[in-house]
Amino acid sequence: MYQLAQDIEIVRELLELTTEEMAKEIGVSRITLNNWLTGKRKISELNLEVFYNFAFRSGIRLNKIKEQLYKEELSEKQHVLLFHGAKNIIEGPISVEKSRKNNDFGQGFYCGESLEQSAMFVSAFSNSSLYMLDFNREGLNYKKYNVDREWMLTIAYYRDRLEEFANSEIIAELIGKNKDIDYFIAPIADNRMFEIIDSFIEGEITDVQCQHCLSATNLGNQYVFVSQKAINQIRVLEHCFLAQEEKEYYLKSRKEFVEINRDKVKIARRQYRGKGKYIEEILQ
């Protein structure tokens, strides 16, 4: 669960508050606060929200602090710090089967390299939270994609948008390369990005137009775990609380990001008009 006692002590120390002052700031008695710290009493959801909102409003970015600390801790070559935004909580062991089949790379466990991006995707949900994970890459087979034609076609295939080209040798060859892969590293394709890929699949834009439009909306990379062997090398470091004020901050950032990228896409679409090939030229 959340590392509440540690978080309270961090906030109290950074703000230079006594236990009594801290209790007053979040509207509880000193005894109640001490009971939370010692584990004698469980904190309510309401008070969790009050405490973490207070910390965020006071300028203390607890999750960013933890990100930095974990990155220093995981500086070993084969370890990577990843983030998983959850609409609720992860119940039971991490599993490939719990996700939808028509995701970017089919069923899998999806994580991001960026705390902000992972939080953005779930901040609109009332019970969402964030997980920080230690991934040990040693001994695993992986494939890394860039924003290019191969990635666009692969995403379209897994999202069930290439039925018309089901007999294409090019598609069969692309997907065949993914056999025995434990995890993928690839650009994140949110719904906005997939709308652009869909325009390519529908024959509205060329592969070059699509590629440059997608590059303009870069969301960073995701790790997609598709084998149990890879899942077994993931360790949950911490389940982090996302307070409402922190969520609103991420949602505002996301809105600004989308608005800026919308203009960049328009420019890229016009600038590369007529360059490259349409999907029928590539697959037929």
What pLDDT is attached to residue 96? 84
What's the one-letter identity of residue 66? K
All residues at 6 or more sequence positions from 56 whose CB lies less than 8 Å from its CB, including other chains: 62, 243, 245, 246, 249
What pLDDT is attached to residue 192? 77
What's the one-letter identity of residue 132? M
Q: What is the pTM of this model?
A: 0.90
Which part of the chain is CATH 1.10.260.40? 1-60
The two structure tokens encoding residue 161? 């948008």
**Residue 89: how many CB atoms within 10 A of its CB?**
11
What pLDDT is attached to residue 279? 92
All residues at 6 or more sequence positions from 252 whose CB lies less than 8 Å from its CB, including other chains: none
Residue 169 Cα distances to 173, 276, 282, angstroms: 6, 20, 11
**Diameter over CA atoms, the chain:** 73
* Vertex 78: Cα angle to 74 and 79 (nearest 5): 30
**Per-residue confidence of the chain (284 residues) as pLDDT tens digits?**
789 999 999 999 999 999 999 999 999 999 999 999 998 999 999 999 999 999 999 999 999 999 999 999 887 778 999 999 999 888 888 988 877 777 889 899 999 999 998 998 899 999 898 999 999 999 999 999 998 999 999 999 998 989 888 888 999 998 998 989 999 999 987 777 888 888 999 989 999 998 888 887 777 899 999 999 999 999 999 999 999 999 999 998 888 777 777 777 888 888 888 899 999 999 87
The CATH class, in words, for 1-60 is: mainly alpha
Cα–Cα distance for residue pair 239/224, rounded to 1 Å: 19
